[in-house]
Structure 1
Amino acid sequence: MNFRKATINDVPAIVNLLADDELGSQRERNETPLPQSYYEAFEAIEAQTGNQIILAIDGDSVIGCLQLTMIPGLARQGMKRAQIEGVRVAQNYRGKKVGEALFQEAIAIAKSEKCGMVQLTTDKKRQDAHRFYDRLGFIASHEGMKLLL
C-alpha cells in the first residue's frame, strides 16, 4: 500500500468510495458521467493552500481516501490545526489497517505543517467509525453542530 495526493483523474474513484456506505449512498451521486460539481469541488480543493485529498493505493486501485485541510487560527495562541473529513476505505479492505495507515500518513503531514491538533467530525450514526477514532486516540471533546444551507 502506498499513499499519494489525489489528482482530478481520481475523482470517480473517490466518489465511488464516498458513496459506498449507508449514509454516503444517500448523499452522493455516483453515476456516469459524474456530475460536474465533483470536478469543480476538486479544483477548489486544489486551489486552496493547505487542502488536499490523500489516497491509499494498492497496485492501481484507490482503496481509501480522506481530505486533509490545514486551518490557521488565532485561538490557542495561534495554533494551526488539521481537519480530517471524508474518510473512506473500500469495503473489501476494511479491517486490514488501511484506515489506520491512512490516518498515520495524514497525522505525519499535519505534524510536518506544524499543526498542534488534528480534529474531525463524524456522523453520530457511524458507531464503527467512533470506535475506530477512539482506538486512534481521538477524544470526543466537543459537540459538533451543522446548519445545512
Structure 2
Amino acid sequence: MLDDLTLPVPLSARAGSFTLRSAVPDDLDALMALLSDDPISAARGDVAAAGDREAYAGALLAIVEDPANALLVVVDVTGSVVGTMQLTRIPGMARRGSTRLLVEAVRVSPALRSSGIGSAMMRWATDVAAPALGASLVQLTSDAARAHHADNCARGRMRSCRQRGQNRGLTGGRRRPGRATPGRTGTGWRSGRGTGTAQPGRQRRH
C-alpha cells in the first residue's frame, strides 16, 4: 500500500459522483468481474473462473501488502465497484534520481465506459497521486491490442496515445518518439519545474 496517498477521495465524472478508495479483500469478486468484462483481458484468460479465485486473492493480498503498490477501486453511491487501477512507485537513477508512478490495469464497468470515469482516475493520478508520492513522471501502460486505453484515450483526453506498442513522452507540449515495448503501449506525463506539462495543481491536456 502506498501510505503517502490520502484515501478515500471523491471523484467526479460525467456519469455522476463516485469515490476512489483502496481495494479490500471483499472487492475480489467485483475486480474479477471487471477483468472478465474486458475482451482483451478475457482473451488472456481472465474469465472470472471459480478455480482462479485463489490466485486472484493471493495477488490482491500481495499488492495490498506491498509498500510500493496500491490497488484502487472506484465505487458508486451504492458502494458497487465500477472501476479499478493499479499504481506502482518506481525509483530510478535517470533524470537525477527521479521517481516514476506507473498506472496500469485500468478498468471501467462496461455500462459506464466513455462516461469520464477513466479520465477522472487519470486526472487524480497525475494531479494528486504523483505529487504526493514525489513522482516526476507518470506512465500509463496498456495492451497494444486495446482500441482505447480504458476510457483515458477517449474524448481527446490523451491525444498522444497510440495503440501500436509505441511509448511516448511529452515535453513542453511537443511529441517526441520513445522506445517501443512489444505488446504494450505507454504514455508519459512529466511533472515538476522545467520537465513539461504535468506540474502539480495544473490541469494537463494530452
Shift of residue 86, structure 1, vs aligned partner = 0.5
Whole-angstrom distance in 2 between the partners of 1:61 and 1:127: 26
More strand by share: 2
Which residue, out of 24, 38, 48, partners 2:41?
24
Point out which structure has higher relative CO (alpha carbons under 8 A, 6+ apart).
1
Bigger mean CA offset, 21-30 vs 131-140: 131-140
Change (3 A) 1:69 1:92: same
TM-score of the aligned structures, taking structure 2 as reference length: 0.64
Contact 1:82 1:115 in 2 (8 A): yes
Whole-angstrom distance in 1 between the partners of 2:94 and 2:65: 25
Which residue, out of 136, 139, 146, partners 1:119?
139
More helix by share: 1
Contact 1:29 1:35 in 2 (8 A): no
Unaligned runs of 5+ in 1: none
Shift of residue 87, structure 1, vs aligned partner = 0.6
Bigger mean CA offset, 72-81 vs 123-132: 123-132
Whole-angstrom distance in 1 between the partners of 2:182 and 2:145: 14
Identify the residue that residue 135 of structure 1 maps to in structure 2.
157
Whole-angstrom distance in 1 between the partners of 2:68 and 2:125: 12
Bigger mean CA offset, 134-143 vs 93-102: 134-143
**Residue 54, structure 1, aligned to residue 76, structure 2:** no
Q: What amino acid is aligned across from residue 22 of structure 1 in structure 2?
A: P
Contact 1:52 1:68 in 2 (8 A): yes
**Residue 35, structure 1, aligned to residue 53, structure 2:** yes
Whole-angstrom distance in 1 between the partners of 2:151 and 2:72: 22
Unaligned runs of 5+ in 2: 1-17, 162-166, 169-178, 184-206
Contact 1:12 1:34 in 2 (8 A): no
**Residue 6, structure 1, aligned to residue 23, structure 2:** yes
Instruction: Report the RMSD for the aligned CA atoms in angstroms.
Output: 2.1
Contact 2:99 2:135 in 1 (8 A): yes
Change (3 A) 1:131 1:26: closer
What are the superposed Cα offsets for residues 61-108 of structure 1, whole Å, 9 maximum, x if unpaired? 100000011111112111000001111000111111111111122221
TM-score of the aligned structures, taking structure 1 as reference length: 0.87
Whole-angstrom distance in 2 between the partners of 1:45 and 1:130: 21
